[in-house]
Amino acid sequence: MRIVVLDGHTLNPGDNPWDDLAALGALTVHDRTAPDQVMARAAGAEVLLTNKTLLDAATLARLPELRFIAVLATGYNVVDVDAARARGVPVANVPEYGTGDVAQHAIALLLELSQRTGAHARAVAAGEWARAPDFSFWLAPPRSLDGVTLGLVGYGRIARRVAAIARALGMRVLAASPSRRGDPDGWRDVPALFDESDAVSLHCPLTAANARFVDAALLARMRPGAVLINTARGGLIDEPALAAALRDGPLAAAALDVLAQEPPPADHPLVGLPNCVITPHIAWASLAARRRLMAATVANVAAFVAGAPVNVVNGG
């Protein structure tokens, strides 16, 4: 069986070997694949692995030998799953490997917006504390999270872990989710959640139906001084609208680990805004999480080889 990895560098930059996957077939690993290289590299593969390399309907139609796609992530919007279903090609993701890591990062971003730890450390390094007349120096006073309302869009594994940490900090937790499974302090629809929350954190998958749903109208509903956090997918946010809301209000700040285009162009409207913290899509990337992702991906491919695929997102 020929197995091809289209973009393996982020999963294994040298510390997370492919040996167990190689035991399942003839393996070729590409660190990165440009759009114009996809067809040449995927041709003849029975199993394709992708993280962020796009596999659209036109590409899938030209791969007659393809039998299985494994996505090296939880989100699978890079694959046209309907086109794959029509071809009889199952697509499997890894639904859980970094729950704690992503929740940790979401809370770290919330704390950064509340405490401005990085900005204060840089100010001290620049000598501003040494020049201050008082024993305590701040660029802006820290913001207590005790009693603050956190709104979570989506209430899956990661959001529930975020909720548990937030409650430990004394926060009130609201959630918006079609399933309404779990136990937040209150359920809201999305507009009401944006109305009532002091901080909103996104934890939903990106679909055609919710692309750029965080738009100017929704942002305008937020309380003055509210903050927005996104560790899900950049395409959930209308980024020019967010930039305007950060410049002109009502938002006080935003903290993002994901953008619609990654890496961003040099003129991205959010990059460089003083009240927008951006990290380079690293919430998922601890070695422990990547090892879990590798093991789960191997298990997905092994299950397909055994004739009983698991974690299939385009069944039915």
Active site amino acids: 233, 262, 281
Convert 11-30 to b/e letters by CB count within 10 Å (16 or more is b): bbeeeeebeebeeebebebb
Number of H helices, E strands in the chain: 11, 12
Name every residue whose Cβ is closer than 8 Å to that of residue 79 and which is 6 or more positions away in sequence: 50, 55, 69, 71, 91
Tracing tokens 């492919």 back to the chain, one arrives at 18
Find out whether 159 and 174 touch, Cβ atoms under 8 Å.
Answer: no
Give the Cα separation of 150 and 202 in Å (integer): 11
Other CB atoms within a 10 A radius of the CB of residue 274 amount to 9
Spatial CB neighbours of 161, under 8 Å, sequence gap ≥ 6 = 99, 100, 103
